[in-house]
Amino acid sequence: MVEATDGTLFKAEYERELETWLRRRFGWLLGAILGWEVLSLLLAVAMALLYRVSARADLSEVAEEDPEAAAQLDTLREAGPEYLTLTMLGTILALAIAARAFVSVRRRLETREQTLQATNWLILQIGAVTFGTDLAMRLLWPVRANELGTAGLPTILFLHLVPSLILPWTPRESMRPMYPLASMLMLELVVLKITGMVGSADIVRTLLLAPIALAPGLAVSWYRMRVHRRRFDRQMVTKGFFAMRRELSQAKAVQMALFPRPVREGGHDFDFAYSPANEVGGDFIHASLDEKGRLDVVLMDVTGHGLASALTVARLSGEVERLLAEDPDMTPGTVLRSLNRYVALTLSKHSVYLTAISVQVDPVHGTVRYVNAGHPPAWVRRGDGRVERFDSTTFLLGAVPDADFDADETEIVLGPDDVLVLVTDGVHEAPDRTGRQFGIERIAEFLARPLPRDGVSRALTHAVEQWRGKVGDDDVLVATIRTPAATPPLPRTASHAEDIERGISMGLAATPPEEPAPAAGAPA
């Protein structure tokens, strides 16, 4: 686990990103080391050539023209071929280590941890070669102690800073190979102390300066990982946002496919308007016609809104469809009792409840069997302008077990000019910018006004949207039901029933036929 991912929301994606990035940059590090060692080898060869020149040259003339160049040649002559041999040998060993890692090790790396281990071994091997070569040189050609006190610090600085400039690793990860390297440096100083080449002050000074040598690499590692993590989070949030919007759009299409189409057949006129607070919501309505021409409507409102409620709606829509498909004669009270049992057994343990209205409309007589389970009231707008309110008749679904659920049914009679209006709580609870709710009274006032023949649900939804502007945080669902073919219940003959069924199939108003005139001589 990479500790840099602790502050990001996308840990798995970030680790994969770092893994790929580290493997790629490990190749860059090997290339940089190979280039450095090749240059070092060329420099050693150039020094060997200079040694040959200095061994044969008379430095007196050079000293007259350029005293500094003469001093350098004299130092090179004093060092002798052993110095150049050790230098070239150390360079060749480091070059071989880097070449082997580039050719064979790099290809076998699969995980981030394997790459980090390969990096540690590379740094340790090159560090061991460098410290070994340096120690051998100092034992063969002693110099003054004050020039040796921090001899290993440049190596520590180089082997920590260069990888930190290239590799995407955390400060903690960058310190892994530094502990063994620090031990190598201390071993070199102890050997030099035993041989009398350095004093205790040199060792103390080296220990004090070691953190300073590590500070640049630590700062680079911390800054790179911090910047990259923030940039990665922004990219992932942006990518995730567009992906989420795309998925929510698809989810909205799927949810809207569950909603029924307006029903304008069999003497029914059913319509609805839905405005979810988000892409998907927790309000839903089911409408279906049975073989006898009755219209069953179930309006549901799941607690909360958004994706969680939409997932619940998907489950409930299938349950309602199953119930009415298995028993088309199921009454509204039985529908809500069955839904209450389903919610109590499956959803209430997750603190998910819902309110619902179930109605069954008989278009022949305009009668509506009605049950309200904790839902906002239903409304009937009469043809003469009167507005009637029908409140809840039982508990919200899932609040009580099946044995305590009492689905009392109410019967409403609709005339040809009456309209039944069903709403969810997003209508009367819609707030304006000051926090005032649309309220039950405004619903009644709206329905008391002259209403259009069609589009009442859309008109009321539009009024709510104008009231709340863009501050609404709940779904709004309005449904309307008319029965323009309704007639009062009368005793019917067989021919009368056939006429009514024929009128329903044509979508026209069915009226009772005129009584035939009595035949001559027949009793009145």
Give the residue extent of every domain in the chain.
10-238, 260-506
**Res 145 pLDDT > 60:** no
What is the distance between the alpha carbons of residues 430 and 323, in angstroms, rounded to a whole number? 33
DSSP reduced 3-state for 357: strand
User: Mean pLDDT of all residues in the chain?
Assistant: 81
Whether 400 contacts 340, CB under 8 Å: yes
Q: What is the CA radius of gyration of the chain?
A: 44
Q: What single letter denotes the amino acid at residue 328?
A: P
Among the residues of 327-382, which ranges form H helices?
332-346
- Structure confidence at residue 72 (pLDDT): 58
Q: What would the pLDDT profile of 47-64 be if each residue is shown by its tens digit?
A: 777 666 655 555 555 555
Tens digits of per-residue pLDDT, 113-129?
999 999 999 999 999 99
Residue 21 has pLDDT above 60, yes or no: yes
- Over residues 150-187, the pLDDT tens digits come to 457 888 999 999 999 999 999 999 999 999 998 888 88
Q: What type of residue sits at position 131?
A: F
- The architecture (CATH level 2) of 260-506 comes to 4-Layer Sandwich (3.60)
Q: Model-level pTM?
A: 0.58
Q: Tell me which of 27-41, 435-449, 479-493 is least confident.
A: 479-493
pLDDT (tens digit, 9 = 90+) per residue, 210-230? 889 999 999 999 999 999 888
Long-range pairs for 90-95: beta carbons < 8 A, 24 or more residues apart: 90/129, 90/130, 90/132, 90/133, 91/37, 91/40, 91/41, 91/44, 92/41, 93/129, 94/33, 94/37, 94/40, 94/126, 94/129, 94/130, 95/34, 95/37, 95/38, 95/41
Give pLDDT, residue 275: 87
Q: What is the pLDDT of residues 364-419, one digit of tens each?
A: 877 899 999 999 999 999 989 999 999 999 999 999 998 899 888 999 998 888 99
Of 379, 384, 393, 381, whose CA–CA distance to 427 is shortest? Answer: 379
CA 447 to chain CA centroid, Å, is 43
